[in-house]
Structure 1
Amino acid sequence: MLNNKKILLVHPLGYRSDAAGHDISRLANIMPPLGLASIAAYVERRGMSADIIDCYARPDSDRAICDYLKAERPAFLGLSCTTSSFLDGIRIAEMARSIVPGITTVFGGPHVSALKEELFPRFRGMDIAVIGEGEETMAQLMEKGLDDPASVKGIIYRPGGGAEGCFTGYPDQLLELDDLPFPAYEKLEGFPTSYMLPIFNYPKTPNTSCISSRGCPYSCSYCDRSVFRRSFRYNSASYLYEHLRYLRERFGVRHINFYDDQFTFNRKRVEEFARLMIDRPLGMTYNCAVRAEHIDPELLALMKRSGCWMMSLGIETGDPELLAQHRQNADLDHLARKIRMIKDAGMRTKGLLMIGLPGETEESIRRSMDYVFSLPIDDFNLAKFTPFPGSPIYDRIHELGEFNEDWEQMDCMNFLFVTKGMTRERLEELFQEFYRNHFKRPKVLWGYVAMLWRSPHSWQRFIGNMGSFLKFTRNTERYLEPEG
């Protein structure tokens, strides 16, 4: 007999577990599945039971999933999937059905929120998809069971168990974020030490991520906005402070990365939060992502005093004409001034860039190199442009170049899209050249040397995984060697 008040929430790995130990992106950054932890806390507050298995933190998790299903026999299996992990989620769902016949598989995350009903005829392993944010929808689904799924807003279900999916429509109102319980971090095995921010992106351990807002007020061509659509909401400063205090006192967390798209959009909120951190210190530092339009010297000085250690900014490209095609307020001079302003305030700066955008040329990539290398950027992340379902550019991407829509490889680590006038091989060569030139710069090298005392744990991780880094480098060099 199934337990109708219990759900197992799973975060799929997205690829073979035996490859996880050599995955550079995973070794460098293991982020807790905060969405699943929030759902778990929410349904438990409503009197139901939830557990989490994070396959990304524990790559060899099939046995754990099987053992849990046999012992607990939950009525629901919830899987939160990105595009690259969706097919692995389908595999896990089918495995669960073979162990617990009658279990209801519920999929959520950006991939299903973007593609909705069109997934259902192709993937019979899906019983239900949650569209948008999942806390209230999942709670209602568990409370009502499957007797009347049409009455639950925010889901796609199969009427009569057929092949087609039927969307019940979006909920009438969005959640008030301050009403949510803190995520159930305690249900993540080994938290917080089993999770780690990117190397050289933190001063202290243990550290973790936190989300204090949902959505984004901007509309860039490459961003998937399927889950939160055009909404933008945020926690109050007092809720945010109490959230950090909870993490400090319960788990000993000493550094936080705010995984918000726009942390400083509401200036008053950030000022109040910073003053709370100054007046009632928690012994914690933090990172955040900002846009140039929403910072100034006075705010930066206050945030520095409150413990802000590093700020990330989306640069995307250093070519002004290309940038103007893909985002709003494309003013690279203004952005450069704000990056220098952050550095002058005493915080580290990290640039977030993409290579291979539609319209990219070798000249635009070299302009990006010149632009980035002219700025006091301590660290940067260069992603390979990937047109995700739900992004504004996705619907017309085949008009703009060659796109191999291989979901399992859509993780910003592969050039699946090649814009007109470029080749995949040349993009890969320029990608490697961009990184090599960055690490050749004396100021950058000295900055990483300074991490010996500013972030000693990062150096320990780097040295401990040096074999994997060297293997990645050798494989890349072999890829770039001409044939024949």
Structure 2
Amino acid sequence: MSWPTAEPFAEIGGLTWAGGETPSRALITDVNSLAMGAWDQFDLGRYRQTSLVAHTAPVADLEFSRGCRARCVYCTKGVFGDAWRAKAPERFVDEVEHARAAGFRAFNLVDDSFTTITSQAIATCEELIRRDVRMPWTLTNGIRVANVNEEFFRVARRAGCYLLAFGFESGSDEVLKRIKKGATVRQARRAVAWARKYGFTILGYFMVGLPGERRDTIRETAELAASLDLDFAKFSITMPLPGTPLYREWAPYIRDSNYDFSIHRPDNGLYEHPDFTWPELEASAREAYRTFYGRPSYVLRQLRRSAERGQLLREARYTLALGATGLMSAFARR
């Protein structure tokens, strides 16, 4: 039998290989029906490497939902689509307990859309509390500031979540509207205040060079990041990913239309920005890093907070790791 023309592979939807493919398969609508991880087939002792921000190991990556209802112009949803499908709180906590029984000691909830329905996210946290699961967990993919309330942060903290990230993207309401983020700077400030009130470690994601961006809006983004009470911030150069509205809008500016995702990286200037040169974008990202991390008040505050959390070495390591995305070069090229 030869691959891929022989049965049953040619009848399986959603497969792609060199020289051919099968039609897309229908989305799985009932995510509660998905099998749990066969972790008993693995020696978890061989997978001790964990995230820099994790407090213990090993860490399981768990999925609560698939799909995203948001319409952000820069985001690709080619894998899971627009339709948001979530697991029931009880089913998700079953999966957490399954991970714990397999030997995991923490988990990272890898969703971008956990808080799509805030009441459902709260119910999931309450189920973790009710079952007394007691596993520390994180939300590092970046939840939306428009889809949270104070009750969510209160209950999530009680349920064991200690670190979360927000996808702020921009400090300009004008740009946020242009990219169809569905959020405002005011909502960003409010969400961070709630997260800080309940003792979370907070990471913020920002972008420079978004559609409609100007030098003053990039400056607003850097200033917003510095004014928010964040523990860490990451600034990325906007990349027009294949399949996104932004990719279609900027098609005339893209040097290489190759759909190889490995080349779509912030360190690869594969397109001509309509309003900035590539060196200008890199300089803007470096300046944003300097604005955020170069404040003496930030350094002193983070040393104190990290020491209070008992995470001084780990969080210093995480900050240094940001050098791979531009932090170290920000200061080296000043």
Q: When the two structures are aligned, how many residues end up with a matched partner? A: 328
Question: In the TM superposition, what are the counterparts of 1:149-160 in structure 2 within 5 Å?
Answer: 151-155=11-15
Q: Which residue of 124, 144, 147 corresponds with 2:7?
A: 147
Shift of 1:404: 4.7
Contact residue 319 and residue 364 of structure 1 kept, 8 A = yes
Alpha-carbon distance in 2 for matches of 1:467, 1:293? 29
- Amino acid paired to 2:88: S
- Amino acid paired to 2:66: R
Shift of 1:154: 3.2
2:128 is matched with which residue? 277
1:462 is matched with which residue? 317
Contact residue 11 and residue 22 of structure 2 kept, 8 A = no
> Is 2:302 aligned against 1:451?
no
Structure 1 portions without partners, runs of 5+: 5-101, 105-126, 128-144
Shift of 1:363: 1.8
TM-score of the aligned structures, taking structure 2 as reference length: 0.84
Residues 98-129 of structure 1 deviation map (CA, whole Å, 9 limit, x = unaligned): xxxx5x3xxxxxxxxxxxxxxxxxxxxxx5xx
- Amino acid paired to 2:67: G
Shift in alpha-carbon separation, 1:305–1:397, aligned structure 2, 3 A: same
Shift of 1:362: 2.1
Alpha-carbon distance in 2 for matches of 1:457, 1:221? 38
Contact residue 240 and residue 250 of structure 2 kept, 8 A = yes
> Is 2:288 aligned against 1:434?
yes
TM-score of the aligned structures, taking structure 1 as reference length: 0.60
Shift of 1:293: 2.5
Shift in alpha-carbon separation, 1:352–1:268, aligned structure 2, 3 A: same
Q: Which residue of 74, 79, 91 corresponds with 1:227?
A: 79
Alpha-carbon distance in 1 for matches of 2:315, 2:295? 23
- Amino acid paired to 1:431: A
Q: Which residue of 406, 409, 423 corresponds with 2:277?
A: 423
Question: In the TM superposition, what are the counterparts of 1:233-312 in structure 2 within 5 Å?
Answer: 233-253=85-105, 255-288=106-139, 289-312=142-165
Shift in alpha-carbon separation, 1:385–1:442, aligned structure 2, 3 A: same
Identity %: 20
> Is 2:25 aligned against 1:170?
yes
1:218 is matched with which residue? 70
Shift of 1:298: 2.1
Alpha-carbon distance in 2 for matches of 1:440, 1:225? 35
Shift of 1:281: 1.9
Shift of 1:358: 3.1
> Is 2:200 aligned against 1:347?
yes
**Runs of 4+ residues deviating >6 angstroms:** 465-468, 472-478
Alpha-carbon distance in 1 for matches of 2:73, 2:61? 26
Contact residue 221 and residue 327 of structure 1 kept, 8 A = yes
RMSD after superposition:
3.3
Shift of 1:168: 2.9
Alpha-carbon distance in 2 for matches of 1:473, 1:314? 19
SS in 2 for 1:196: coil
Residues 229-273 of structure 1 deviation map (CA, whole Å, 9 limit, x = unaligned): 2221111111211211222232241x3221101112223432332
